[in-house]
Amino acid sequence: MKELLDKLLQRHKYLEPTAEEELRRQVNVLYGAFTGLIGPEKMVLRASKYSALAYVHSEDPRRRIVGLQRLVYEDASYDKVPSDDEVVDVLNELENVLAEMLARQAVEERLEKKISQRMEEKQQEYVQEIKMELIKEELHDVETPQTKKKLDDLQHLDSIHLTESVMQRVRPKTLSAIVGQDRAVEAMESKLASVYPQHLLLYGPPGVGKTTAARIVLNEAKKLPFTPFGPDAPFVETDGATLRWDARDMTNPLIGSVHDPIYQGARHDLAETGIPEPKPGLVTEAHGGILFIDEIGEMDPMLLNKLLKVLEDKRVRFESAYYDETDPHIPAYIRKLFAEGAPADFVLIGATTRDPSEINPAIRSRCAEIYFEPLVPADIQQIVTNAAQSLGVTMEDGVAELISTFTIEGRKAVNILADTYGLAVFRSGSNDHVVLTKELVERVAQISRLVPYVTEKASSLPAVGKVFGLGVAGFLGSAIEIEAVAYPARTPGKGYFRFNDTAGSMAKDSMFNAAAVVRRITGKELSDYDVNVNFVGGGNIDGPSAGCAITTALISAVTGKAVRQDIAMTGEISIQGLVKPVGGVFEKAYGARQAGMKGIVIPEENQRDIPEHHLNLQIYSTRTIEEVLDIMLVK
């Protein structure tokens, strides 16, 4: 094709300034070749589109060269008229481009002819296959035996599928299937399935269904006509422990970032023209739906502050030193992202196992807070029963009860059931009619080094100098065994107090308040006794809430009166014998229930913190130490 164009041009290698007509003739030939290539109509349209008409109709051949550049390169930015020294190079370049276009046209014509011939021989459905074959005939095949083998390996891997996981199989599909969280689920529904859905913070121990409940509530909200969630509202889940703040702001999968064209690998076509590429993050992916951040309490504080800004603006702004808004080559979507930002209007749900006091106050002020409750053994047993039905297995009597002794987490209980199922299948050599026995559960417990999570501490037999207090750590309460003994001092008035060295300072302070109350109630001075108080287990018990229990234990030890062992107590004691309010009463009730207590004694001012007969416990609200003793001391 190049030789044909050379024959058409028939010009000298070097152009002398006196060869004006020769230059004009060469330019005319190039225009003729280009017009013949694309057609007169397209020629006129292209000249209009790229503002080349004035150049095309100019009398100056050099200005006509500029017009030809605009037409051939489809770029209106060409406006420099070449000098005499530059004319030869410009014409050579145009000739090469036109020669390539002519060659491509010739190839395309040959392809069309071959396609027509093949179409006569084969059916219409093979047309696409014929095109691919012809392209391979004309062009070099980029595939090598090595790359083809790797492709085959990938396709083979795609054909391999394991069965779904146990957690996927037994995961609740409806809100009614979430066990032990009726109040939390009701609160989530009222706050999400609303005309104005709220951001939420979910507190609670792990494995109680926080993530599952959020997914199901969104699905239910999508069905309601008055919620803003559309049928395709996304549920985007991430983990706050894995999200990290990049101080250079080069990568931010949560909020989004800008990939510059030099160092960060913007798209190839953008990098060649020096255009930065914004990369929207998970907040934009969650637009119109829910962004669920598990373990939000583990997030970097700086990243959390960035998230708060997005919650306020409902949009993410992008900036880059490489961005030039006057660049005509910038794609429209990038121009829009830099000008308007990326949309990020979503509902945030954060889940955490931390105490609310450890969560950023700014995020707490923007969210409604919902507390998921620890699971009691009956809840674990129901979860295990539901999971067994989903797996299609039969359980021996007592299996669910046995599993519930090893954990308070629903997820862990299902894992124990799955391990037992696997052991049963392995032993029987078949997965038909699988029966799970207590012996198999005990074997799994031995292999996994599982021990009973709680030991029943309650007793129907009263005891002297022994009481059960209540403590709380995180979202879990526990029954604390406190014992006291009092012996007459060898020298009256010179008795001693001994307390656990590991006990907290406030718990020790409760001892001195208790001494004043003991004297008022019994008329006896504790300094006349050698007194030992022990928190069984030696834990670091801090806070004033053990005061009521310590006072009761001391009065029992001094008077010899027995104390009920099936009721636990909590409350601060004043030197006047008043029972003052304490925190964590709801969680402490859970600890009492786990320890097998029939009831709990709480301050009267905490009465509203806990429902009546919560967890089937008898709730005794008291105002003075005398009321406590009437309940606790055996007549």
Which residues are annotated as catalytic? 545, 588
Question: Which residues on neighbouring strands pair with residue 342, listed in sequence order?
Answer: 316
Give the span between the Cα atoms of 305 and 291, in whole angstroms.
16
For the residues of 333-344, what is the DSSP string, one character each? Answer: HHHHHHHH-EE-
- What residue has token string 């959390």? 304
Residues 6 or more apart in contact with residue 85 via CB below 8 angstroms: none
Give the span between the Cα atoms of 44 and 61, in whole angstroms.
19
Distances (CA, A) of 289 to 200, 243, 349: 13, 20, 11
Rounded to 5 degrees, what angle do the CA atoms 567, 569, 570 make?
A: 165
Diameter over CA atoms, the chain: 134
- In the chain the first and final C-alpha atoms are separated, in Å, by 117
The closest alpha carbon to 554, from 578, 529, 574, belongs to 529
Task: Give Cα 195 distance to the centre of its chain.
Answer: 25
Task: Give Cα 121 distance to the centre of its chain.
Answer: 57
Question: Which residues on neighbouring strands pair with residue 200, listed in sequence order?
Answer: 349, 368
Question: Which residues on neighbouring strands pair with residue 395, listed in sequence order?
Answer: 436
Residues 6 or more apart in contact with residue 433 via CB below 8 angstroms: 394
Question: Which residues on neighbouring strands pair with residue 619, listed in sequence order?
Answer: 600
Give the span between the Cα atoms of 66 and 56, in whole angstroms.
8
Task: Give Cα 99 distance to the centre of its chain.
Answer: 57
Give the strand pairing for 497-498 and 529-535: parallel
Q: Which long-range contacts (CB under 8 A, 24 or more apart) does 364-369 make?
A: 364/201, 366/199, 366/308, 366/311, 367/198, 367/199, 367/200, 367/201, 368/187, 368/191, 368/198, 368/199, 368/200, 368/201, 369/200, 369/201, 369/203
8-state DSSP, 583: S
Give the span between the Cα atoms of 373 and 268, in whole angstroms.
52
Task: Give Cα 559 distance to the centre of its chain.
Answer: 58
Give the span between the Cα atoms of 523 and 130, in whole angstroms.
108
For the residues of 295-321, what is the DSSP string, one character each? Answer: TGGGS-HHHHHHHHHHHHHSEE----T
Distances (CA, A) of 503 to 471, 472, 511, 543: 13, 15, 11, 10
- Contact indicator for 473, 583 with CB cutoff of 8 Å: no
- Contact indicator for 471, 545 with CB cutoff of 8 Å: yes
Question: Which residues on neighbouring strands pair with residue 477, listed in sequence order?
Answer: 472
Which tokens is 487 given?
Answer: 């012996």
Give the span between the Cα atoms of 549 and 552, in whole angstroms.
5
